[in-house]
Amino acid sequence: MIEVAQLDTDPEACPYLPGREARTRYQLVADLLPGEYDEKLAQGWRRFGSILFSPRCSDCSECLSIRVPVDRFLPSRSQRRVLRKNSDLDLEVAAPRLDEERLSLYRRHHADREVRRGWPSTEMGFEEYYETFCLNAVPTLEFAYRLDDRLVAVAYVGAGEESLNSIYAFMDPEYVRRSLGVFDVLSEIDEARRLGKSYLYLGYYVKGCKSMEYKANYRPHEILGREGWQEA
């Protein structure tokens, strides 16, 4: 790993739990081998592009890394319904791409979240999209989902030697009834199994935060606590 810079942020409002403060450590890396990526993920780090980050909160430890052992995963009844509902979608797994179609889908997704979840307004442009999703320090896969010829969801997944890491997904708000986010995680688990990986990392699980608690629905799963990784 080639580290270019490291920064610890000042305390700021926690984005997950009201009334709490958060601090984050960032590492900017120029190169990261897949095996090193696995080590970072196993230690509780996350990644966007060329930036690694992990919580450094002094009074809270609710951000817990969560991963799914893909060989032992079994979809629930509701997850099987999602698979059937989306059996007409086509999935292409390839290198990250940037075009107007993807950028437009991201903007529609974010605008919907601004209204329904109170996300801060943003207007991502081509350069920011490229730096966020396409400029990566480690091999990264793009999952592109189409209904006929229409792009309805995109997800980005980092690839280590022994794991895949779910980074970010966005989808067309017109298809909310399809539960595309669930379908994407199930597809990522299937792809990890197909590639012979041991785990799919899902990021942080935060008890009490609705937008993060859903990750516990993928079973069995393991949580990184003070005693290391344990099945929950």
> By residue range, what is the domain housing residue 163?
65-231
In a domain, residue 173? The reply is: yes
In a domain, residue 208? The reply is: yes
In a domain, residue 9? The reply is: no
- The pLDDT tens digits for 31-61 are 899 999 999 999 999 999 999 999 999 889 9
Amino acid at 17: L
In a domain, residue 94? The reply is: yes
DSSP 109-121: HHHHHHHHH-PPP
* Residues 168, 219: Cα–Cα separation, whole Å: 20
Among the listed residues 54, 53, 87, 47, the one whose alpha carbon sits nearest the alpha carbon of residue 186: 87
- The pLDDT tens digits for 161-220 are 999 999 999 999 999 999 999 999 999 999 999 999 999 999 999 999 988 999 999 999
Q: Which CATH number is 156's domain given?
A: 3.40.630.30
In a domain, residue 210? The reply is: yes
Looking at the chain, how many residues does it have?
232
Structure-block tokens of residue 130: 């490229």
In a domain, residue 119? The reply is: yes
Do the beta carbons of residue 14 and residue 21 sit within 8 Å?
yes
Q: What is the helix (H) or strand (E) element at residue 165, kind and residue range? A: strand 163-171
pLDDT band at 114 (very low <50, low <70, confident <90, very high): confident
In a domain, residue 30? The reply is: no
In a domain, residue 163? The reply is: yes
Sign of CA dihedral 108, 131, 142, 55: negative
Domain count, the chain: 1
Its pTM stands at 0.95
